[in-house]
Amino acid sequence: MKHLSQEDLVLHYYAEGGAKISEHIGECPECHANFEQLSRSLSAISLPEPPLRGENYGAEVWNGIRPKLAERSTAAWWWMFPRRSVAVAAVALLIVMAFVAGRYSKRPPVNPPREATNKGQLPQKVLVVALGDYLDRSEMLLVEVAHANRPEDLDLNTQRRYAHELVASNRLYRQTAQRVGDVETGALLDQLERVLLQVEHAPQSATAADIQQLREEIDSGALLFKIRVVQVHMKAEAKSGNRAGNVEDPNTLQDQRPIL
Amino acid sequence: MDKMESFDAAAVALVRAGDRDAFRPIVERYSEMLFRLAYRITGNEADAEEIVQETFLRAYRKLDSFDGRSSVSTWLFRIATNCSLDQLNRRKVQPQALAMDPEGDETPPGERVRSEQPNPERLAYNAEMQANIHAALQSLSNVERTAFVLRHVEGCSIEEIAATLRVRSGTARQSLFRAVEKVRKFLAPVMRPAG
């Protein structure tokens, strides 16, 4: 019988040896004894616990590095959008863009676009760039829910999990919207979060009435429509490299029906 | 993707877009974890603190290369490991001695409680053990020591070690084997027989 090498024994100790090694150790007294000896040596070694850090250690580290963080360029923003999301959203966006183009051809913008050198542009652009993927994912979830007529039309467990993830990110985006003074986007995110929370906490065995309530919540605030309007604006602004700062308040658009 | 990972991904997206302050929650969440890792690899508190800062600075600079296939915490873990290795190479840091349990206790290290009052014989034995362990560590190359810490303490698989150190898995495995062999060789004279 060919005995196991030390390397085999080490792999087995670290649970990476596989079934054959395990079987051999169970059957071969000599290898079993060697393994026991190895185990005694390795299991006896422990590292001392690192010294404890204070409660504010993370904040201290942040204060230490904050001045050293350079400004980041936002020039390559489009690479951040997952290509699949872009492809999936492209068709829907074309429809919405046509719709929005129609709206804007009827009246001039309320305010003239700001100059590209406007100092207020960068922080808003930050939000524009970061929000793209988030709104894409939120839109997909809302579309799934809005299209469900019965509980069996909807994989609620999956949607609840997605909603859970989206809620986690929402707070960060809202904070950024507040920081840059983007009231409209903040309000949209606030409204979106309320719906996402309802989806996240939808009962395990949702009834048709539960699903209907979710749909009504989405419809009543024209949430999908608002998201699409913001997406269109964002992409147009990103393309032109200029955020006009006059994005219409989505709340004023409630006379328009969602595309779906 | 769990809730924390989703939050991290959102923070990363904001930082990439130019909001430096969105990096703060990431720094605050992972500083201690990275400190513990860096301390275990270098055995030096001041170096570990420096490594934590360097890790975040390096992560911030390389944020565009983060592809999201691993979690932010895994990504930072890998950067911190390499920063620790760089620090060891740069300063020739001598790691702090590993602690040895002469009874061969198989309880996970973090759960061990040393409540026994050591008698003189035990103290002498421990001292001898510590000296041998220290010598064993001195004999390890920086890569061997890092591989050993990642596998033995952090519980990383050999594949994860390879990915972290950016070497082939065979190389990571050999580094671990060599480390184990060297440590065992140094400990053999003072290991008490079984039973």
| Helix orientation angle between A156-179 and A183-200, rounded to the nearest 10 degrees | 160
Is the Cβ of B178 closer than 8 Å to some Cβ of chain A? no
Percentage of residues in chain B with pLDDT exceeding 90? 44
Which tokens belong to A10?
């080490």
The mean pLDDT of A141-150, rounded to a whole number, is 80
Percentage of residues in chain B with pLDDT exceeding 70? 83
Model pLDDT, residue A125: 63
Q: Which residues of chain B are within 8 Å of residue A59 when distances are taken between CB atoms? A: 28
Is the Cβ of B28 closer than 8 Å to some Cβ of chain A? yes
Question: Of A1-5, A80-84, A113-117, A157-161, which gets the smallest average pLDDT?
Answer: A113-117
The mean pLDDT of A137-160, rounded to a whole number, is 81
The mean pLDDT of B16-38, rounded to a whole number, is 92
The count of CB pairs under 8 A between chains A and B is 188
Are B53 and A61 within 8 A, CB to CB? yes
Search chain A and give the residue with CA nearest B106. Answer: A43
Q: CA A77 to CA A158: how far, in whole Å?
A: 29
The mean pLDDT of A116-121, rounded to a whole number, is 43
If contacts are CB pairs under 8 Å, which of residues 100-119 in chain B contact chain A? 100-106, 109-110, 112
- Which H/E stretch holds residue A46? strand A45-46
Is the Cβ of B120 closer than 8 Å to some Cβ of chain A? no
Which tokens belong to A134?
């988030």
pLDDT confidence tier of residue B157, bands split at 50, 70 and 90:
very high
Q: CA A58 to CA A125: how far, in whole Å?
A: 28
ipTM: 0.81
Whether residue B84 contacts residue B37, with contact meaning beta carbons closer than 8 Å, is answered with yes
Nearest to A132 by CA among B173, B51, B10, B36: B10
| Helix orientation angle between B158-165 and B72-91, rounded to the nearest 10 degrees | 60
Are B35 and A166 within 8 A, CB to CB? no
Q: CA A101 to CA A114: how far, in whole Å?
A: 20
Are B57 and A69 within 8 A, CB to CB? yes
Q: Which residues of chain B are within 8 Å of residue A37 when distances are taken between CB atoms? A: 194
Instruction: Please name every residue paired with B68 in a beta bridge, in sequence order, or none if there are none.
Output: none
Are A62 and B27 within 8 A, CB to CB? yes
Model pLDDT, residue B190: 76
Average pLDDT, rounded, for chain A: 73
Are B18 and A6 within 8 A, CB to CB? no
Are B63 and A164 within 8 A, CB to CB? no
Are B109 and A169 within 8 A, CB to CB? no
| Nearest Cβ partner for A47 among B14, B153, B177 | B153
pLDDT confidence tier of residue B158, bands split at 50, 70 and 90:
very high
Q: CA A72 to CA B142: how far, in whole Å?
A: 34
Question: What domains can you pick out in chain B, each with its CATH number?
Answer: 3-91 (1.10.1740.10), 109-190 (1.10.10.10)
Are B18 and A47 within 8 A, CB to CB? no
Whether residue A47 contacts residue B99, with contact meaning beta carbons closer than 8 Å, is answered with yes
Model pLDDT, residue A106: 45
Model pLDDT, residue B35: 97
Greater confidence (B155 vs B67) lies with B155
Q: Which residues of chain B are within 8 Å of residue A79 when distances are taken between CB atoms? A: 64
Are A40 and B101 within 8 A, CB to CB? no
Distances (CA, A) of A185 to A182, A240, A248: 6, 19, 10
| A46: closest CA of chain B, how far (Å) | 5
Model pLDDT, residue A13: 95
Greater confidence (B69 vs A83) lies with B69
Search chain B and give the residue with CA nearest A158. Answer: B1
Model pLDDT, residue A218: 84
pLDDT confidence tier of residue B56, bands split at 50, 70 and 90:
very high
Percentage of residues in chain A with pLDDT exceeding 90? 20
| B89: closest CA of chain A, how far (Å) | 21
Residue A192 pLDDT exceeds 60: yes
Every domain of chain A and the residues it spans: 6-43, 77-253
Phi, psi of B10 (to 5 degrees): -65, -40
Q: Which residues of chain B are within 8 Å of residue A129 when distances are taken between CB atoms? A: 13, 16-18
The mean pLDDT of B55-61, rounded to a whole number, is 95
Provide the Cα torsion A170, A175, A176, A178; round to 10°.
120
If contacts are CB pairs under 8 Å, which of residues 62-91 in chain A contact chain B? 62, 64-66, 68-74, 76-77, 79-80
Phi, psi of A14 (to 5 degrees): -90, 20
Residue B147 pLDDT exceeds 60: yes
Distances (CA, A) of B25 to A97, A160, B20: 36, 25, 11
Query: Using one digit for the tens of pLDDT, what is the confidence trace for A46-80?
Result: 777 899 999 999 999 999 999 999 876 554 444 44
Q: CA B115 to CA B113: how far, in whole Å?
A: 6
Q: CA A144 to CA A224: how far, in whole Å?
A: 11
Greater confidence (B162 vs A169) lies with B162
Residue A108 pLDDT exceeds 60: no
Are B184 and A65 within 8 A, CB to CB? no
The mean pLDDT of B31-51, rounded to a whole number, is 94
Whether residue A237 contacts residue A102, with contact meaning beta carbons closer than 8 Å, is answered with no
Query: Using one digit for the tens of pLDDT, what is the confidence trace for A230-245?
Result: 777 777 766 665 444 4
Model pLDDT, residue A155: 80
